[in-house]
Amino acid sequence: IQEPQLQGQDTGMQCEDDRTGIGVETLKRAFLDNLFYVQGKFPALATKHDYYMALAYTVRDRLLQRWVNTAAIYTQQGSRTVAYLSAEFLMGPHLGNNLINLGIYNQVQQAMTELKLDLKELLAKEEEPGLGNGGLGRLAACYLDSLASLEIPTLGYGIRYEFGIFDQLIRNGWQVEKTDKWLRYGNPWEIARPEWAVSVKFGGRTEAHKNAQGRYRVRWIPHKVVLGIPYDTPILGYKVNTANTLRLWKAEAPESFDFEAFNRGNYYGAVDQKVTSENLTKVLYPNDETYEGKQLRLEQQYFFVSCALQDMLRIMLRQKLPLEQFHEKFAVQLNDTHPAIAVAELMRLLLDEHDMDWEPAWEITQKTFGYTNHTLLPEALEKWSLKLFSSLLPRHLEIIYEINWRFLEQVRHKFGTDEGRIGRLSLIDENDGKFVRMAHLACVGSHKINGVAALHSELLQKTTLLDFYEFFPEKFTNITNGVTPRRWIVLSNPKLTNLITSCIGDNWIKHLEDVQRIETYAEDPGFQQEWQQIKRENKVNVAEILLDRTGVKVDPDSLFDIQVKRIHQYKRQHLNILHAITLYNQIKQNPNLDITPRTLIFAGKAAPGYYIAKLIIKLINSVAEVVNKDPDIGDRLKVVFLPDYNVKNSQPIYPAADLSEQISTAGKEASGTGNMKFAMNGALTIGTLDGTNIEIRNAVGAENFFLFGLTTEDVGALRLTGYRPREYYKENPQLKQAIDQIASGYFSHGDRSLFKPLVDLLLDKDPFMLMADYQPYIDCQQQVSQTYRDRDRWLQMSILNTARMGKFSSDRAIREYCQQIWKVQPVPVQLAAEKTGDG
Ligand code: H53
């Protein structure tokens, strides 16, 4: 491939290419050119959005050079490739990240300034692709960044939802959902590839036939066929030439019109099929960690999985690789059970469409897949009713029965006829109606199964997947989650990035373990001073955002105590609000109380059908309303709920936190990844022994972490001995007062019914044990307040947190996946200009 030369500077002698050059003058010229030729505008008429688009296209041009070269090298070398299958990719805005990874942030900033534009304002114009709910989708995005940065050939496969996660408005304290029309103004980062469209079948029936050798084969006669159109987005690594591909599938009708219906004069009937087919990829299901046995959801899962596997087979055929080598060409990772149907689909493709026999097909399938489990919550474990399954995927059900039959034979062989065990291991749940258990299909069809934190992996093996662990222990492993320092430090916190880099150079951005080297400065007064100054500026920034979006004025010198994540009972935002009420009552009882001033910041979306989660949002806003306007309280306590938490809105939050709230009931949060983003940016954590909190605490040192609460064992033991939440309430006057106020309408203008469901739940059942953890939490918060008053100690703790977070880079996690599961090596990409040495 011949591409223009990449040059870093205008020499005055040579002119850089407009599509690849990265000198300031070239960038300005290219930007104005794109404004004219892509947006069809000249500066006097251009809107901020036009400028954003012109800049996005300018950056995209620079990506394309790397993207095309990367594809050429992978094709030439037939490289072993990771295929990451995920129903969600929560990418966040692309522009800023691409500027960082291209290493041209400063040049572009200067170019924009010289054109009298503000880069920050243009960055803010990008509509983020919110194609995920929370942790799982964002993890997939961090992993794509690391895979590209580590030069690992990768395809991310998912769904191009027309509407991503809803936008959240707060009206009268309640969450209101608004459709996320992210594609409204066009998406400059994607390229449609209709030439690689595939057909996906649904419904119908199967029949037997004989192949050329006279062997029985099965044919699937579907009821309907949908087209999958791939849309590709380049994913550039940090300061490398590798640009991998995120390939998202959109559903379309095979023919836009049913011509027969059209000719009969039935125009609306004629477009019907088009409308129903396109519904498939219309909208992301907004539930995090609960499945809703909805047909459309199963259709989405099967649709993108089938598109992905057919695409991989097409790539193999094009590279003239025999299908027997499928598992050598592709390492396919199942991100949770959402894509688990891939096990049956690969079998179907190999057996029915490529005429393979069962044994080799099964061996290939098992060697191909790895399965990551992300949760122990029973409500998240997907199972599909046999009725739905057989009507939608009749052939897959036959294949699953066959897999199950053979698997259970092996179980009998190993353990004898232990019917209890067989029932627990079966791919079919026959306890209460009949269901296909997707986690079981994923376990049987994969060669590796991993949890996402040490505790989580241990609990998987001891509880949820115990029977599978006993049957094939060698399949199980742990890979602790990580997050990318490019987005979560460099892009989000440029001031801290500069400070760190000025002390130790910039190697830490690629090797986060190196950030440890700032430890020598932890007690240096000059360094501490700068550290504090940066935190303060980041807090001022968030204070402005809060004022702008909520009208609440907060004091940047108060302790910023932040909990941002999906709203879920197990994450216990309501425990945090009980602390807020407690502080409020303490000040009311003693108006001169000298307490550490705090600002409590909350943000997060609730699933639209999750009533209690929505009520928790209402409670937070109701408490905020009372606290914030009480003159007795003043600046000593503020409570704010920042609406519409998403990747873009979260980026300024982590750098502004003093305290990170990670307070889930022990054993419930598989990993958590927000905890990592906070600690990397110098926030201290108050947390339980749950998920990766445990590993963060081990890394930063117990003395630099505020620990409280029941352990997983305590939770289990307490439940066994009979948990009586009301006893804690009766015996603790502060707790009683707080609960009574909620119940009595103190925060709801006298309305006693509003929060009754929440209060009753806490006093009678309290499934997440807030009552038991309340006092230890309050005591620990007291310790936080005291420590915050010792400025030098706090700063030292803050610096040590950042310094010791190296392990939590997604680069480390991806290296482990590559070594333990995928067995895949880096494939460096050189640009032709570099190869010939003349660029
Ligand atoms: O996955 C994160 C974890 C987090 C866990 C989350 C998750 C989802 O967001 C959705 C479904 C699911 O099963 C798990 O709750 O603890 O950090 C990434 O592993």
Secondary structure string (H, E, C) spanning 400-465: HHHHHHHHHHHHHHHHCCCHHHHHHHCCEECCCCCEEEHHHHHHHHEEEEEECCHHHHHHHHHCCC
Using the atom order of ligand 1, give the atom closest to the CA of residue 481: 19
Tell me, in angstroms, the distance from the centre of ligand 1 to residue 412's CA. 34
Task: Answer yes or no: is the C-beta of 691 below 6 A from any ligand 1 atom.
Answer: yes
Task: Give CA–CA dist 743/760, Å, rounded.
Answer: 9
What are residue 615's phi and psi, to 5 degrees? -70, -30
pLDDT at res. 832: 73
Domain ranges within the chain, ordered by starting residue: 78-93+128-481, 494-808
β-sheet bridge partners, residue 598: 559, 637
Q: Do domains 78-93+128-481 and 494-808 have the same CATH topology?
A: yes
Using CB atoms within 10 A of its CB, is residue 525 exposed (0-12), middle (13-18) or buried (19+)? exposed
Token output for 468: 């599978």
β-sheet bridge partners, residue 435: 385, 429
Over 60: is that where the pLDDT of 9 sits? no
- The residue assigned the tokens 């919550």 is 377
Mean pLDDT along residues 552-561: 98
Catalytic residues: 374, 565-566, 571, 673, 677
Over 60: is that where the pLDDT of 744 sits? yes
Among 138, 142, 289, 373, which residue has the most ligand 1 atoms within 8 Å of its CB, making it the best to mutate? Answer: 289
Token output for 792: 């030098």
Mean pLDDT along residues 363-367: 98
* 644-698 tens-digit pLDDT: 999 999 999 999 999 999 999 999 999 999 999 999 999 999 999 999 999 999 9
As a dihedral over the C-alpha atoms of residue 759, residue 764, residue 766, residue 772, rounded to 10 degrees, the angle is 100
Other CB atoms within 10 Å distance of the CB of residue 17: 16
Give the CATH class of 494-808.
Answer: alpha beta
Using CB atoms within 10 A of its CB, is residue 785 exposed (0-12), middle (13-18) or buried (19+)? middle
- Rounded to the nearest integer, the mean pLDDT of the chain is 95
Over 80: is that where the pLDDT of 117 sits? yes
Mean pLDDT along residues 321-330: 98
Concatenating the DSSP letter of every residue in 234-269 gives EEE-TTSS-EEEEEEEEEE-SSSS-HHHHHTT-HHH
Cα distances from 495 to residues 93, 418, 530, 531, 602, in angstroms, run 20, 62, 10, 9, 24
| Among 658, 580, 660, 675, CA closest to 619 | 580
What are residue 737's phi and psi, to 5 degrees? -60, -45
Tell me, in angstroms, the distance from the centre of ligand 1 to residue 673's CA. 9
CB 46 within 8 A of CB 61: no
Among 84, 336, 371, 375, which residue has the most ligand 1 atoms within 8 Å of its CB, making it the best to mutate? Answer: 375
What are residue 610's phi and psi, to 5 degrees? -100, 90
- What does the DSSP 8-state code read for residue 63? H
CB 573 within 8 A of CB 662: no
Tell me, in angstroms, the distance from the centre of ligand 1 to residue 411's CA. 30
ipTM of the modeled complex: 0.99
Task: Give CA–CA dist 733/42, Å, rounded.
Answer: 68
Token output for 749: 């203008």
Task: Give CA–CA dist 208/531, Å, rounded.
Answer: 71
Task: Give CA–CA dist 80/69, Å, rounded.
Answer: 17
Using the atom order of ligand 1, give the atom closest to the CA of residue 336: 13
Using the atom order of ligand 1, give the atom closest to the CA of residue 452: 19
Task: Answer yes or no: is the C-beta of 135 below 6 A from any ligand 1 atom.
Answer: yes
Over 70: is that where the pLDDT of 12 sits? no
* Residue having the nearest C-alpha atom to atom 18 of ligand 1: 136
Amino acid at 633: I
Task: Give CA–CA dist 590/34, Å, rounded.
Answer: 63
Using the atom order of ligand 1, give the atom closest to the CA of residue 289: 11
Tell me, in angstroms, the distance from the centre of ligand 1 to residue 794's CA. 31
Other CB atoms within 10 Å distance of the CB of residue 734: 15
pLDDT at res. 4: 40
pTM score: 0.97
**CA contacts within 13 A on the Cβ side of 817:** 34
* 67-111 tens-digit pLDDT: 999 999 999 999 999 999 999 999 999 999 999 999 999 999 999
Task: Give CA–CA dist 303/51, Å, rounded.
Answer: 36
| Among 315, 400, 278, 415, CA closest to 351 | 400
What are residue 229's phi and psi, to 5 degrees? -110, 120
Helices (H), 733-790: 733-744, 756-760, 770-789
Flag the least confident range among 4-13, 525-534, 812-821. 4-13
Task: Answer yes or no: is the C-beta of 288 below 6 A from any ligand 1 atom.
Answer: yes
Provide the pLDDT confidence category of residue 737 given band limits of 50, 70 and 90: very high
The dihedral through the CA atoms of 471, 472, 473, 477 has a sign that is negative
Task: Give CA–CA dist 399/406, Å, rounded.
Answer: 11
Task: Give CA–CA dist 141/706, Å, rounded.
Answer: 29
Amino acid at 723: Y
Over 50: is that where the pLDDT of 7 sits? no
CATH 3.20.20.70: does it fit domain 78-93+128-481?
no
Flag the least confident range among 170-174, 268-272, 559-563. 268-272
* 513-548 tens-digit pLDDT: 999 999 999 999 999 999 999 999 999 999 999 999
Q: Where are the beta strands (DSSP E) in 610-691?
A: 637-641, 659-662, 684-687
CB 188 within 8 A of CB 53: yes
As a dihedral over the C-alpha atoms of residue 29, residue 33, residue 36, residue 42, rounded to 10 degrees, the angle is 0
First to last CA, the chain: 15
pLDDT at res. 834: 64
Task: Give CA–CA dist 56/708, Å, rounded.
Answer: 46
Cα distances from 573 to residues 138, 270, 604, 651, 682, in angstroms, run 21, 50, 10, 20, 22
Token output for 782: 């007291």
Tell me, in angstroms, the distance from the centre of ligand 1 to residue 374's CA. 5
